[in-house]
Structure 1
Amino acid sequence: MVPLLLVLILAVLLFGAGFALEALWWIAAIVLVLWLLGFVIHPTAAPGARRSRWYRW
């Protein structure tokens, strides 16, 4: 009975980790697209003023 429970717990943990990793890949892809769009779509600065960045670093 104990080996069966261990295998069941291992299967549930691996399924959860696989789902979490898949979700993290999708989140990373969305953040990458938003980051790249930030370089393309930027606010226009007044003539003669420094162009402001949309990020803080």
Structure 2
Amino acid sequence: MVLILALVIVAIVLGIIGAVAHGWVFLLVIAIILFVADMAYAGIRWSRCSGRHPTR
């Protein structure tokens, strides 16, 4: 969970720097890719955890 939160924070910071700094659009692109990858990782991790418990 800490890894997911840390990656989201890094993606937000890179996105802000990439949006504000002129000519640093590649940081914004990296931030978007990082955020999407992080959300995919979180989705896969949460779907695995929820499938292990049998219904009673």
What is the TM-score with the length of structure 2 in the denominator? Answer: 0.54
Runs (5+) with no aligned partner, structure 1: 1-5, 41-57
Runs (5+) with no aligned partner, structure 2: 1-20
Query: Greater share of helix residues, 1 or 2?
Result: 2
**Equivalent pairs: percent with the same residue?**
18
Q: Which runs of 4+ in 1 moved over 4 A?
A: none
Larger Rg: 1
Pairs within 5 Å for 1:8-47 = 8=23, 10-40=24-54
Higher relative contact order (CA 8 A, sep 6+): 2
What is the TM-score with the length of structure 1 in the denominator? Answer: 0.53
Q: How many residue pairs align between the two structures?
A: 35
**Superposition RMSD on alpha carbons, in Å?**
1.9
